Amino acid sequence: MSPHEPVSPEKSDPEAAPRTTTGRGVLTRVLRSRRSEDRAHLSALAGLPALSLDALTSVAYGPEAALTVLAAAGARAAGAMLPLTVAVALLLTTLVVSYRRIIATHPEGGGSYAVATSEFGPRTGLLAAAGLIVDYVLTAAVSLSTGAASLASAFPFLNDHLLLVSLLALAVLTAVNLRGLADSARLLMPATLLFVALVAAVAAVGVLRPVPAASVGGAPGVAVTQGLGLLLVLKAFAAGCTAISGVEAIANGVPAFRRPRVRTAQRAQLLLGALLTAMLVGLGYLMARDLIVPREGVTTLAQLTAHSFGTGWLYLLTNTTVAVMLAAAANTSFGALPVLLSLLAKDDRLPHVFALRSSRLVHQAGVLALAAMTALLLLATGAVTDRLIPLFALGIFIGFSISQLGMVRHWWRERGPRWRRLTALNGFGALLTLTATAVLLLFKFVQGAWAVVVVVPLLMLLCARVQRYYAAVAAATGTGRIPPRPAGGDALVVVPVGELSAVTAATLSRALSLSGDVVAVTVYSREVPARALQERWREWDPGVPLELLPSPRHSLLGPIVQYVQDAGAAGREVIVLLPEKLPRRRWERLLQGRRSAVLAALLRRRTGALVSTVPFHLGGRPEPGRPRIQPP
């Protein structure tokens, strides 16, 4: 299949293959294969730790971001947290319902990118994709930095080492995700359930306990500077909407779920919406009732935990769990961004390496790219959450707004059952997300949101340039057109040699198996005489002529390249075989020269010859049909 042809996960799904088999052994192998594949994919519950940790753990920083804005109007302004949280929960419900529909309409994944491309065209699709890329990188950075800050709330000595803690957590998450998304979900499942249970307990106990059990933190961290007006409320709403970050990750990663993928992903989306809504409204009620204000040295969630549990072991357990899960929330990006990058690669908008998957069904290039970009962002900001939040929110709402508008266009164009109700639902969601986007641009542009405005167009330009390159390659190679019939003929096989050994003999044997016209070439100069080799060649008499190539400039590779160029110019098909010694241990490869690799690169760049290496395993266990050379 051509790399230019998009691959639908549903089409390649073994579930869609015919089920008629003959023989119990064949049926057993098919069933084992399907069970093995299912273990590598996600159930609805496993989708929470794999793709929804960002959304679940955003209760630790989303309400706090809104409260920090409201605190500019004084402690009494915290009373507005309940209606504000209800408004955020209403938007969350709208998005959950919308993304369940997007999952059904775009089972190949991609979320906002897929909706924008199909409804508005490739340019809007690139805008959505660029916004999502920024969103996921910032999601990982914010999750790790917030996790480090939350851990420092319980263990204050870590306040001076937030960057180091964040980078160490990033390294662990990268290593786990290189093993597979299902493995990371299984690893994080117990901690995820404990996190949900503890946050729910904080809300439930807090509601039942009208008098706080204990208070933590220093003096209030925000000074009163203005009154509680409409603009302040809008600004707080936009900041609080960071609590719904990651809601789209399930729709982006539909191919990662078990069969039937659409139904499983929709169940995961519904479960996420129910849990997140309950936690947000419960915590918002406590903030409004107790008039919580941001304090130095502790997070808002830590204050609520102390109000409910006191400062004993439950307080330490909750804060430690929140810290671990906030750091692990970067797993949402590791689960969704590589899938998005693979879709962009299949659409020729990113290098095709991002579309490749390992034997563990992992897009390794996407995982490593995300880890590198997140590390750079953490280093640039010192892992300070307040520096990341202004950038973070805007990237989220670009994708949200485009997906809502795209679904409005979809329902209006399709006009299927209940299309009016669905159009109104997504139109309301678009109104809320566009309002949040405008407010963020207005109030956060100078604080750092300008960087997103710059980076998103640059990413779009990069994707467009990559797409133009692949289009040019397709035009130059005639991809999609029927090529002329291949011509036959005997090729000239060239074997560069520098010594007589078992490696030389095995390489010549391979060459003679390809063609009857084989020539060995060696380069000589004043510093590298060839008389001894020529005499031993005559004595050996392998049935292959040895050509001596002079090198007046003492270059060992230039004469070989020139020889192959001359042979090709004469109309001959040329094959060059280069021996490659493979030591048993990896560190021993450092002791081997790189001359064959450099020569291969030169030949491929300057000639039209077919260049191939012949591997020789030194004392190891080669694959069947490959020679092994025992060291003396």
Q: 404-460 pLDDT, tens per residue?
A: 888 888 888 888 788 888 888 888 888 888 887 887 777 777 666 677 788 889 999
Cβ-based neighbours of 449, under 8 Å, separated by 6 or more: 390, 391, 393, 394, 440, 441
- pLDDT in the model for residue 13: 42
- pLDDT in the model for residue 44: 82
- pLDDT in the model for residue 588: 65
Quickly state the pLDDT bin for 112 (edges 50, 70, 90). Answer: confident
Distance, CA of 102 to chain centre? 21
Tokens encoding 607: 């000639």
Residue 97 sits at the vertex; the CA angle it makes with 93 and 100, to the nearest 5 degrees, is: 140
Quickly state the pLDDT bin for 462 (edges 50, 70, 90). Answer: very high
Cβ-based neighbours of 434, under 8 Å, separated by 6 or more: 397, 401
- pLDDT in the model for residue 380: 87
Q: Kindly report which listed range (41-50, 184-193, 582-591) carries the lowest average pLDDT score.
A: 582-591
Q: 564-578 pLDDT, tens per residue?
A: 998 888 778 899 999
Collapse the DSSP code of 200 into the 3-class scheme (helix H, G, I; strand E, B; otherwise coil) and give the result: helix
For residue 550, cis peptide bond before it (omega within 30 degrees of 0): no
Collapse the DSSP code of 626 into the 3-class scheme (helix H, G, I; strand E, B; otherwise coil) and give the result: coil
- pLDDT in the model for residue 615: 85
Q: Kindly report which listed range (98-102, 190-194, 325-329, 413-417) carries the lowest average pLDDT score.
A: 325-329
- pLDDT of residue 499 exceeding 70, the answer is yes
- pLDDT in the model for residue 373: 92
Q: 285-306 pLDDT, tens per residue?
A: 988 888 888 887 778 888 899 8
Question: What element of type H or E holds 581?
Answer: strand 574-582
Residue of 79 and 626 predicted with greater confidence:
79
Averaged pLDDT for residues 241-251 = 79
pTM, full prediction? 0.67
Averaged pLDDT for residues 316-344 = 83
- pLDDT in the model for residue 7: 39
- pLDDT in the model for residue 16: 42
Quickly state the pLDDT bin for 519 (edges 50, 70, 90). Answer: very high
- pLDDT in the model for residue 19: 43
- pLDDT in the model for residue 589: 66
Cβ-based neighbours of 436, under 8 Å, separated by 6 or more: 237, 238, 241, 393, 397
Averaged pLDDT for residues 307-313 = 87
Averaged pLDDT for residues 614-620 = 74
Residue of 153 and 598 predicted with greater confidence:
598
Cβ atoms of 522 and 496 within 8 Å: the answer is: yes
d(CA 319, CA 106): 38
- pLDDT of residue 311 exceeding 70, the answer is yes
Residue with tokens 């209940």: 418
What does the mean pLDDT of the chain come to? 80
d(CA 164, CA 145): 10
Averaged pLDDT for residues 326-341 = 81
Averaged pLDDT for residues 234-243 = 80
Number of H helices, E strands in the chain: 23, 6
Cα within 13 Å of Cα(321), Cβ side: 22
- pLDDT of residue 43 exceeding 80, the answer is yes
User: What is the DSSP-derived secondary structure letter of residue 516?
Assistant: S
What are the boundaries of each domain within the chain? Answer: 40-472, 492-629
Averaged pLDDT for residues 471-489 = 74
- pLDDT in the model for residue 630: 44
Is the CATH code 3.30.360.10 the one for domain 40-472?
no
492-629 matches 40-472 in CATH topology: no
- pLDDT in the model for residue 407: 87
- pLDDT of residue 520 exceeding 90, the answer is yes
CATH of 492-629, one of 1.25.40, 1.10.3470, 3.90.700, 3.40.50: 3.40.50
Characterise 357 by phi-psi region: left (phi > 0), alpha (psi -120 to 50), beta (else): beta
Cβ atoms of 367 and 336 within 8 Å: the answer is: no
- pLDDT in the model for residue 527: 62
Averaged pLDDT for residues 29-40 = 48
- pLDDT in the model for residue 17: 42
Quickly state the pLDDT bin for 631 (edges 50, 70, 90). Answer: very low
- pLDDT of residue 31 exceeding 60, the answer is no
Residue 574 φ/ψ, nearest 5 degrees: -115, 135
- pLDDT of residue 509 exceeding 50, the answer is yes
- pLDDT in the model for residue 369: 93
- pLDDT of residue 328 exceeding 50, the answer is yes
- pLDDT in the model for residue 478: 75
Collapse the DSSP code of 592 into the 3-class scheme (helix H, G, I; strand E, B; otherwise coil) and give the result: coil
Q: Kindly report which listed range (8-22, 36-50, 540-554, 565-579) carries the lowest average pLDDT score.
A: 8-22
